[in-house]
A = this chain, B = another copy of it.
């Protein structure tokens, strides 16, 4: 089981450099590929205006990170070419095209990357809570606005897929709420109770699901014991499922901006993993996102 990102990066080096297919002439995306190349895990395939890319490349003396440039000037065409390229090998990194245009290509029924799974955003950070060193996952602060029960089940499947790739065969999934008791006035707690029961009945597999849990008793054995909570997930959760995009987004950004821990974010559920970075992401977060995405592409 990978306990931190350095272990993931060391593991990835063993496979040689993975192509990172960048769609759109974005400076930050090129920088991210350059960084991945520098640490020996990535090489870039750039889809977009050759002229614009060449201008960005000028900043770098060592051009070893450039594997290929696929010239295209139309955004829709760029996305199609990138999707087709990534089908063969590598991972997809959004550059300067619009997210909607890229997702439209990804979800194209004829030549896209659509699967039976839903598309979700999975974030990851290094946790060392109470001495337990591990990578904790958060879903979903980026795609699902307010998922219904059936969608949450699929969302859990996607996060479990990532946990499996991290080497965890049976992750503990905490359904986060504001409290650990069921309160009919708080629909999130009602959903959590339903999902736990569904898990007990074998409707959710490959993980242990419990909720409602508040963040303290999901992560901390101290809080779990102080509150006398009986749960096979509480105190040591591997996956934190938030009930909506607001709480998921706030949690992820709090980890990064208040907790000071770089956050890796990847998009799961397409035939190939995708990265849709935010412009405000720092270099360390981008590199971790690339490493996580490479790991789940294998």
Task: Tell me how many residues of A have a C-beta within 8 Å of chain B.
Answer: 45
| CB pair A215 B259 closer than 8 Å | no
* Interface status of A247 (Cβ within 8 A of chain B): yes
| CB pair A250 B215 closer than 8 Å | yes
Which chain B residues border A142 with CB–CB below 8 Å?
Answer: 178
Which chain B residues border A215 with CB–CB below 8 Å?
Answer: 249-250, 253-254, 257-258
Which chain B residues border A227 with CB–CB below 8 Å?
Answer: 278-280
* CB 8 Å contact bits of A252-269 with B (1 = contact, 0 = none): 011111111100000000
Given contacts A127-B258, A246-B244, A259-B260, contact A178 B251 (CB under 8 A): no
Given contacts A256-B216, A258-B127, A259-B259, contact A186 B250 (CB under 8 A): no
Q: Which residue of B lies closest to A141 (CB)?
A: B178
Given contacts A185-B145, A279-B227, contact A248 B178 (CB under 8 A): yes
| CB pair A249 B214 closer than 8 Å | yes
Most buried by B among A185, A227, A243, A258: A258
Bound complex: CA A272 to CA B261 (Å)? 38
- The segment from A7-15, A59-67, A161-169, A218-226 that touches chain B is A218-226
* Interface status of A274 (Cβ within 8 A of chain B): no
* Interface status of A239 (Cβ within 8 A of chain B): no
* Interface status of A158 (Cβ within 8 A of chain B): no
| CB pair A216 B279 closer than 8 Å | no
| CB pair A250 B247 closer than 8 Å | yes
Copies in the assembly, this chain: 2
Given contacts A251-B251, A253-B216, contact A246 B188 (CB under 8 A): yes
In the assembled complex, the CB of A48 is this many whole angstroms from the nearest CB of chain B, namely 21
Report which of B178, B186, B258, B280 forms a contact with A259, defined as CB distance below 8 A. Answer: B258
* Interface status of A177 (Cβ within 8 A of chain B): yes
Most buried by B among A215, A223, A259: A215
Beta-carbon contacts under 8 Å, A266-296 to B:
278-280
Which chain B residues border A125 with CB–CB below 8 Å?
Answer: 258
Beta-carbon contacts under 8 Å, A21-78 to B:
none
* Interface status of A217 (Cβ within 8 A of chain B): yes
* Interface status of A245 (Cβ within 8 A of chain B): yes
The 6 lowest CB-CB distance pairs between A and B, nearest first, are A178-B249, A215-B253, A223-B280, A259-B259, A247-B247, A254-B254
